[in-house]
Amino acid sequence: MPTVLVTGASRGLGLEFTRQYAAEGWQVIACARDPARAAALQDAAAAAPGRVAVHPLDVADHASVDRLAAQLAKAAIDVLLNCAGTMGDGNFAAQGLAFGRFGSTDYADWERVLRINVLGPMKMAEAFVGQVARSEQRKIVTLTSILGSIARNTRGSLYGYRSSKAAVNAVMKSMAIDLAASHGIAATVIHPGWVRTDMGGPRADIDAPTSVAGMRRVIDALTVESAGRYWMYDGSTLPW
């Protein structure tokens, strides 16, 4: 059975990926900052005995990433799935574009957003590239956002979050080129849609099962030739 490593698995899309991949018979390495407090993740693991292994991981803490990589040094990871992310110290679902408006910048919070959303996926890829390379599928996927599209930005605001997603798009584009050549790895980003999660809020367009089912189809079809694109969960693409 193939293996997927999911960051940010304690809730939202990461938790739904864990549930769906486990239901399909995959081995799931489900990572969360504090597994002991992740009741829903523990329930998902209990519902799929032997298929979900829960590990502590903070993608903002590079030593934490290195510890897990050393612990899983002999693993073969078919899909490395970077779900962990943050919009920062605010609530877009409640505040909309008033969150992150010009003139209200919290620079320390912006740095934290960049560390989680940009440096986190890069560190994960560098730490686990060997485990991905020895697998059969060899895929690295990072969840991005339509808000990272420069071409689609017609409303402004959200400086920290937008910049982090535009940056991780650039990171993953370069990774797609470099890792295809060096390791035969397909790397890409996927926008999950506007999803009804804690981040997306209750008014969002789709639920997490719909989003994750769509993204899984994109991941299943991913090749080194189709990697490095700005995918939508429905299989369409976005402009950078």
Instruction: For tokens 């969960």, name the residue.
Output: 233
DSSP secondary structure letter of residue 49: T
Residue 218, C-beta contacts closer than 8 angstroms, at least 6 positions apart: 190, 231, 233, 235
**Residue 78: exposed, middle, or buried by beta-carbon count in 10 A (0-12, 13-18, 19+)?**
buried
Catalytic site positions: 161
Which H or E run contains 187? strand 186-191
CA distance 85 to 14: 10
CA distance 53 to 50: 7
